[in-house]
Amino acid sequence: MEEKEIKFESSTEKKPEKHSGIFLYTLLMIFIAGLIVSNLSASNVYYTPIFISFSAAEFIFPITYIINDLLNEFFDLKKVIKVTLIGILITFVSMLILYLTTLLPTGYSEYQNVFGFFGSGVIGITISSFIAIVAGSLVNSVVMGKFKKKDKEKKFYKRAILSSVIAEFVDSLVFITCCCIFASNFYFWDKLIPLTLTIFTIKIIVEIVVSPITNFIRKKAIQKKWAE
């Protein structure tokens, strides 16, 4: 009698899972964290007697553009816009709540000064940041899309850096201009050009320095199919 070989599926075998949602939400959380921290730290501005002037935010804010590059690499423009708007909304609510906490009449003015809430400074910075990131993200998405269409899946490093160079300049110029209007107790018109050029340069340097990490995440996302 012929014996039939019965094969049992190993319970340890896992069916392929789609990680697109987890990957997208992780990028969203990092994007929001970058926005909140950079908005808080943007009130700490360092002015020098020479041409160079910058704020603490420039060392943190490039994270948002790195995330934007990854979003544009794996997701369509509709999702990128949705993530950007969600990030902006959550950040604005967070800044507003933090500002309202400073209105409690405790007499601790140091609290307001440390976080830059004195004279509604951070609220003005937050509004400026939102206007700038919408303009910069739109430019970044368009430029990334054009380069990706041309290069297909190749030359990620080139399109990520070149798109950021254009977008970061737009972002920096719009941000500082708006800050001079909405946060005039921290940003001044005579420092518009020095601040714009300095923070633009710092942002690009930071993005270039961390680009190997960005590229590593991209390769892992492709390998593990996180965005499928």
Q: DSSP letters along 15-37, please?
A: -----HHHHHHHHHHHHHHHHHH
The chain-wide mean pLDDT, for the chain, equals 80
Quick check: is 215 in a domain? yes
Quick check: is 11 in a domain? no
Q: How confident is the model at residue 16 (pLDDT cuts 50, 70, 90)?
A: very low
pLDDT over 60 (residue 116): no
**Buried/exposed code over 163-192 (b: 16+ C-beta within 10 A; e: otherwise):** bbbebbbbbbbbbbbbbbebbeebbeeebb
Domains identified in the chain, total number: 1
AA letter at 50: I
Instruction: Give yes or no for a contact between 13 and 217, defined as CB atoms under 8 angstroms apart.
Output: no
Quick check: is 171 in a domain? yes
Quick check: is 34 in a domain? yes
Residues with Cβ within 8 Å of residue 118, at least 6 apart in sequence:
109, 112, 185
Quick check: is 26 in a domain? yes
pLDDT over 50 (residue 185): yes
pLDDT over 80 (residue 32): yes
Arithmetic mean of pLDDT, 200-220: 88
Structure tokens at 146: 């054009």
- Predicted pLDDT of residue 18: 55
d(CA 92, CA 35): 9
pLDDT over 90 (residue 29): yes
pTM (two decimals): 0.76
Arithmetic mean of pLDDT, 78-97: 87
Which domain range does residue 192 map to?
20-39+55-102+113-223
Quick check: is 50 in a domain? no
Classified as helix, coil or strand, 46 is strand
Arithmetic mean of pLDDT, 35-59: 81
- Predicted pLDDT of residue 13: 45
What are the backbone dihedrals phi and psi of residue 90, each rounded to the nearest 5 degrees, phi first? Answer: -65, -40
pLDDT digits (tens, 9 = 90+) for 133-177: 889 888 888 888 887 787 766 777 778 888 888 888 999 999 999
Considering only CA atoms, give the Rg of the chain: 22
